[in-house]
Amino acid sequence: MRKLLGQFLRFGVVGLGGLVIDVAVFNLLRLTILSPDVLHEGPVIAKIISTTLAIGANWIGNRRWTFATSARTRATREGVEFALVSIAGMGIGVLSLWVSHYVLGYTSLLADNIATNVVGLALGAFFRFALYRWWVFSPHREVVTANSGLGATESAVRPAGLAPLHRVQTVSTVEDRAHRND
């Protein structure tokens, strides 16, 4: 439980950095070149741009700090999965903004910020943390080894003391009697 709390706190600090980037860029764009007066879809486009920049910053922070103790054998796979989860999380924030702005008719700058940077952010943060922890950066993920012959899956190798005891298994040799006389 203590490890989970520590991870959640680090996730929050990284997320706070991403939030600063997201809110600052969103408001800068929303008040200037992507104002609804200039472009009808401006607020949604501004949110997509600002969140994309925040996702990049969060990727670095989460990979290097929040989930740094997890296996690092598949950085490309992790990056793709992180992007997928982040885009889905961004969709939650964009959907909150879209519903507030275009369905409910709350079009002020304050309403847009509450919809996307309070409601959307809170919902998206819980969604992203859960999927980052249990899917993207999970130390319990299985990897396919390149030299396993038959393509069997094996657990990632970790230094002694980091493997949970309930996952430690022993394997005995098997004698192949069909080819014994070969």
Q: Would you call 66 exposed, middle or buried from its count of C-beta atoms within 10 A (0-12, 13-18, 19+)? A: buried
Span 154-177, average pLDDT: 51
> What's the CA angle centered on 100, arms 49 and 122, to 5 degrees?
65
Extended beta strands in the chain, E state: 142-144, 153-155
Q: Would you call 2 exposed, middle or buried from its count of C-beta atoms within 10 A (0-12, 13-18, 19+)? A: exposed
- On the question of pLDDT at 89 being above 50, the answer is yes
pLDDT at residue 181 in the model: 56
**Cβ proximity of 158 and 143 under 8 Å:** no
13-44 pLDDT, tens digit each: 999 999 999 999 999 999 999 999 999 999 99
pLDDT at residue 69 in the model: 73
State which H helix or E strand residue 22 sits in: helix 2-31
**Cβ proximity of 120 and 92 under 8 Å:** yes
Span 70-92, average pLDDT: 83
Round to whole Å and give the CA distance between 126 and 131.
9
